Chains A and B, each alone.
Chain A
Amino acid sequence: MKGKGENIENFLYGNLHKVTTPGRYLGVEVNSFHKPFYSSHVRWALIYPDLYELGMSHLGLAVLYEIINEREDSMADRAYLPWTDMQDLMRDKGIPLFGLETRRPLREFDLVGITLQHELNYANVLRVFALSGIPLRSEERGAEDPLVVGGGPGAFNPEPLADAFDLLVLGDGEEAVGDITEVVREWKKSPSRDRKGLLRELCRLPGIYVPSFYRPHYREDGTLAEVEPLEGAPLPVRKRVLVDLNSYPYPRRPLVPLVESVHDRASLEIFRGCTRGCRFCQAGYIYRPVRERDEEILLRMAREMIDSTGFEEISLTSLNSPDYTRIDSLAGRLADEMEPLKVTVSLPSLRTDTFSVKLAGKLRRVRRAGLTFAPEAASESLRRSINKGVDEEDLYRALHAAYSEGWRKVKLYFMIGLPGEREEDVEEIGMMLRRILKGKGSREPLVGMHFTVSISTFVPKPHTPFQWVSQLSLPEVARRHFILRETLRMKGVTFRWHDREMSYVEGLLARGDRRLFPAVVRAARRGCLDNWTEQFSFSRWEESVREEGLDMAWYVERERDRDEVLPWDHLDCGVGKDFLWSEFEKALRGEITPDCRFDACAGCGACQGEVRLRLAADGV
């Protein structure tokens, strides 16, 4: 076994000069732990199934990396998906995917944790298996193989990949990784090392889903009849919720990327969850309830992170940062404290209102990139149906505030294909832009302001009120793009749109079931790495799904009945199916559900027992 580590080291020193950006493969980042690879430790490898530059920007893995390494009984290394030039070299020389710090094959770890951030990453996940030589299916793995653990938002419907995972963590990972570590630590001491027994124990931990203990039964029409739990596994699997974020103030000493990364800065998570209730947004449901960190704790975390990294920027992250109860105070104090250090404070997400614009102005940031607003839909009725509580007046006001603060570049996000969308609603996007540019009533026209209108295709996601609806067919997306191209042809406006075929594959995997697994395997073997645009191929996906006797449109375009058993019904994110259905009906009626952070509880079900909405101003 020893020789293998040396092999990898020799391979690196003999080949790093041949690849682009060798800094991705060194593992010597400032704040890396480099804990020894003792067998008495529970050894985790944390994987982000995409390039280093993306993986290093991911907050969730940074948190878990520190928590696991700070424990005495465990260690964590990490790996990302090497770029294709490195993949080719590794394959040529027979070098398996390895942990960057230990330079040990992933196969030698006890646990390999893979985060599922996006459906278009699923083929990349399978590439991780191919490169590491870990047997692909859970059932094919033996006592010497690592346990493969999934996590991230994808864990709320991992079914298209479920056969590849031994277990998945639903919800917050901070406490779950500790629980898993303890069970595995004891199991490693047991003489029998019975893998099934271990899984049986793990599935009793809160938030742990062991796919092999759930057997789906299908009806003749292809829909699910039921998902049957085996081995006494719980039904449903409830997600894990960290009751109080203050108890886990991580990261404290984040890794400093060696190579310039997508988010090359300190990220301060000011709260988790969002209850705005946008009906298309999965994150808005699966991360409930809102839990804010206290201001003092955040300030301390910020200091510690800047002290330990030398980052020149700190970003206040969350699903909707201006919503933080004490945002004005926090942003002001942080900006003051960081000023002498010449560290800039930035705000990644902006609401469509003047408050947000003023706040961003105060932080003197974002200017380079321009401002971004997401009205999502141009017609009032459609915005009501998705529960986006902004009207056109709000947008005008926000734009004028931005204009007078000196911003001249604005990005506007819209979606097409929302349930109930008519042709007029699509045309309305162009009309809205025209109204903005011309000025309306007493309002000045925004002379010299440039708009980038970015259009994505709505993809229905599990655990949202729109989980039952149909996604637009490809020809229909093309037709609506055509309308947009015509109506958005005006000075001062640039039109951009997402690749419709990618959104289609995203839709397929988002609401897929276990029967898709062999198709994903085929697509991955054919070389699909969807996130890396040049390696995306719709025809390969089509072929792969067809060869498995399945129909893409059945998954993507079919409207589901209220009573249909959905492939993710046995996974409980806290928000009840009945609540989601009532939200769906309210969407059809154009009724708004207010945010429980500012209004009454809507009864979504996420708050139970100790788990509840926590605001920083509470003084708890």
Chain B
Amino acid sequence: MPRMESKDQTSRLLVKFSKEGDASFLSHRETMRALERALRRSGLPLCFSEGFNPRPKVSFSPALPLGVKALAEYLEVKVAGPADVELARERMNQALPRGLEVREIRLMPMHIPKLSRWARYGLYRVERGEFGEGEVIHLVLSLAGEEQGRLREALEILGFGEIGSYGFSVTRVGIYPSLYEAVEDAGGRALYYDGKARVLRELEGDEL
């Protein structure tokens, strides 16, 4: 069992989860509730907020637009003591609606900044064809607010309709601290949408 020794005995866990199929139609809020309830059943020694309605101390990666699938989303949770993360992962997966799945739970070393600090870029895979059998486009977006609008704008420039309509599908593949890592994961080449300037341009790993 991985242990974490620190003065106050609290530590942070990073929970990586995917959101596919039916679950991609759950809103951010609904996803958070489902995960919180699964956390309550995980056996982890959660830290709770004070007050009349105590809630586990959890933060989530930035909201995902409705209808977009995701392979590697994150939540960060504060725990009050040693934790059996493998057992917790299994328990959570029994307590989640179909389509939501915990992939991994990791202890966060103290020097790693908070999720909200490093979750800066999202890599999206846009696939033509209803079942993802068509051409694949890699798209990187900044996650600093308004990503919902940005994704829509970028898709519009690419000539796609509303998220969820026939003919293509969108998956957020991962979340990264820097453009470089996002582009690298895309295979060294991706489109980057600059939301402020409203321009879509090609990025290559070597440039960065």
Contacts from A to B (Cβ < 8 Å): 14, 16-18, 21-23, 26, 28-30, 256, 258-260, 307, 309-313, 341-342, 344, 364-365, 367-368
Option from B95, B98, B165 in Cβ contact (under 8 Å) with A310: B95
Distance to closest chain B CB from A86 (angstroms): 12
Q: Which of B95-124 contact A (CB under 8 A)?
A: 95-99
B52 touches A368 (CB 8 A): yes
Tell me, in angstroms, the Cα distance from A342 to B48 when the chains sit together.
Answer: 8
Option from A18, A26, A309, A312 in Cβ contact (under 8 Å) with B164: A18
Do A17 and B53 form a contact, CB below 8 Å, given A23-B26, A30-B95, A310-B38? no
Do A30 and B25 form a contact, CB below 8 Å, given A17-B66, A256-B37? no
Chain A residues touching B, majority SS: loop
Option from A28, A311, A367, A368 in Cβ contact (under 8 Å) with B37: A311
Query: Which of B36, B46, B53, B99 gathers the greatest number of chain A CB atoms within 10 Å?
Result: B53
Query: Which of A17, A309, A365, A368 gathers the greatest number of chain B CB atoms within 10 Å?
Result: A17
Distance to closest chain A CB from B207 (angstroms): 35
Query: Which of A22, A365, A368 gathers the greatest number of chain B CB atoms within 10 Å?
Result: A22
Do A30 and B97 form a contact, CB below 8 Å, given A17-B67, A307-B41? yes
* A-contact 0/1 string along B5-29, CB 8 Å cutoff: 0000000000000000011011101
Option from A26, A256, A344 in Cβ contact (under 8 Å) with B53: A344
B165 touches A309 (CB 8 A): no
Option from B30, B55, B96, B166 in Cβ contact (under 8 Å) with A312: B55
Distance to closest chain A CB from B6 (angstroms): 22
Question: Which single residue of chain B is at the shortest CB-CB distance from A27?
Answer: B22
Distance to closest chain B CB from A11 (angstroms): 12
Option from B23, B52, B96, B162 in Cβ contact (under 8 Å) with A365: B52
Q: Which 8 A-B pairs have the closest CB atoms?
A: A17-B164, A310-B37, A28-B98, A310-B40, A22-B25, A342-B54, A17-B67, A310-B41
Do A22 and B29 form a contact, CB below 8 Å, given A342-B48, A368-B52? no
- Residue B3 at the chain A interface, CB threshold 8 Å: no
Do A17 and B163 form a contact, CB below 8 Å, given A28-B23, A310-B37? yes
Question: Which single residue of chain A is at the shortest CB-CB distance from B92?
Answer: A310
Q: Which residues in B have their C-beta under 8 angstroms from that of A367?
A: 52
Tell me, in angstroms, the Cα distance from A279 to B29 when the chains sit together.
Answer: 44
- Residue B34 at the chain A interface, CB threshold 8 Å: yes
Query: Which of B23, B25, B27, B56 gathers the greatest number of chain A CB atoms within 10 Å?
Result: B25
Distance to closest chain B CB from A438 (angstroms): 31
A23 touches B27 (CB 8 A): yes
Distance to closest chain B CB from A8 (angstroms): 13
Do A17 and B36 form a contact, CB below 8 Å, given A310-B41, A368-B52? no
- Residue B198 at the chain A interface, CB threshold 8 Å: no
Distance to closest chain B CB from A507 (angstroms): 39
Do A344 and B52 form a contact, CB below 8 Å, given A30-B34, A310-B38? yes
Tell me, in angstroms, the Cα distance from A21 to B30 when the chains sit together.
Answer: 10
B162 touches A258 (CB 8 A): no
Question: Which single residue of chain A is at the shortest CB-CB distance from B46?
Answer: A342
Tell me, in angstroms, the Cα distance from A596 to B77 when the chains sit together.
Answer: 52
Q: Which of B162-201 contact A (CB under 8 A)?
A: 162-166
Distance to closest chain B CB from A10 (angstroms): 10
Do A26 and B22 form a contact, CB below 8 Å, given A310-B40, A312-B40, A344-B52? yes
Do A258 and B30 form a contact, CB below 8 Å, given A17-B25, A365-B52? yes
Q: Which residues in A have their C-beta under 8 angstroms from that of B53?
A: 312-313, 344, 368
* A-contact 0/1 string along B52-96, CB 8 Å cutoff: 111110000000001100000000000000000000000000011
Do A259 and B30 form a contact, CB below 8 Å, given A17-B162, A312-B53, A367-B52? yes
Q: Which residues in A have their C-beta under 8 angstroms from that of B27?
A: 21, 23
Q: Which residues in A have their C-beta under 8 angstroms from that of B162?
A: 17-18
A16 touches B164 (CB 8 A): yes
A14 touches B165 (CB 8 A): yes
Question: Which single residue of chain A is at the shortest CB-CB distance from B162?
Answer: A17
Distance to closest chain B CB from A596 (angstroms): 37
Q: Which residues in B have their C-beta under 8 angstroms from that of A18?
A: 162, 164
Question: What are 5 contact pairs spanning A and B, CB under 8 A?
Answer: A16-B67, A258-B30, A310-B37, A312-B37, A364-B52
